[in-house]
Structure 1
Amino acid sequence: MVDAFEQWWDGVELWLAQLAFPFQFALLMAVLLPLCLGVARLIDRVVDNASTRFNPVPKVPPPGAEPQPGKVDPARPS
């Protein structure tokens, strides 16, 4: 199984090496650009989820909401 994969990969590598440079570049961009974009989005989501998990955003009441009893609102003079 591994030997068959190695032979296939050698054939692909030889085919790619024999292409003209503009075709190599176009093929590389067609494969690597979406792959890198997908990996970057995955990393962004993982970091975003980790940062919200370890540093949660405090819950702020909506503007105009009544203050809770027993809590001092510094914005309202007493």
Structure 2
Amino acid sequence: MDWLVQWWDGVELWVVQLPVAVQFPVVMIVVLPACLGVARLIDRVADWGAKNPASAPEPEPEPESEKVAA
């Protein structure tokens, strides 16, 4: 896991050292698709959870209608 932290620190240092005019497009090219991907993943998981029959409460039985003597 240490290699991932080292790599991320290197990327972060590289982005911070770029001029702001270059930082913005670089961040938008990377962050925008990443956020879109995470949002789609969350949406699919939420849809799956909503459609999962195990998560739905059991329907209550309908009450019997009262018989009326004529």
Same fold (TM over 0.5): yes
Name the structure 1 match of 2:24.
Answer: 25
Which structure has the greater CA radius of gyration?
1
Structure 1 residues 50 and 3 mapped into 2: Cα distance closer, same or farther (>3 Å)?
Answer: closer
Are positions 1:34 and 2:43 aligned together? no
Structure 1: 4+ residue segments shifted above 6 A = none
The amino acid across from 2:34 in the alignment is L
TM-score by length of 1: 0.55
CA distance in 2 between counterparts of 1:30 and 1:13 reads 15
CA distance in 1 between counterparts of 2:19 and 2:36 reads 26
CA distance in 1 between counterparts of 2:3 and 2:47 reads 41
Deviation at 1:5, TM superposition (A): 5.5
Name the structure 2 match of 1:2.
Answer: 2
Identity, in percent, stands at 54
The amino acid across from 1:30 in the alignment is I
Query: How many pairs are equivalent?
Result: 54
Unaligned runs of 5+ in 1: 56-78
Cα RMSD of the aligned pairs, angstroms, is 2.4
Structure 1 residues 16 and 47 mapped into 2: Cα distance closer, same or farther (>3 Å)?
Answer: same
* Higher normalized helix content (fraction of residues): 2
CA distance in 2 between counterparts of 1:4 and 1:40 reads 24
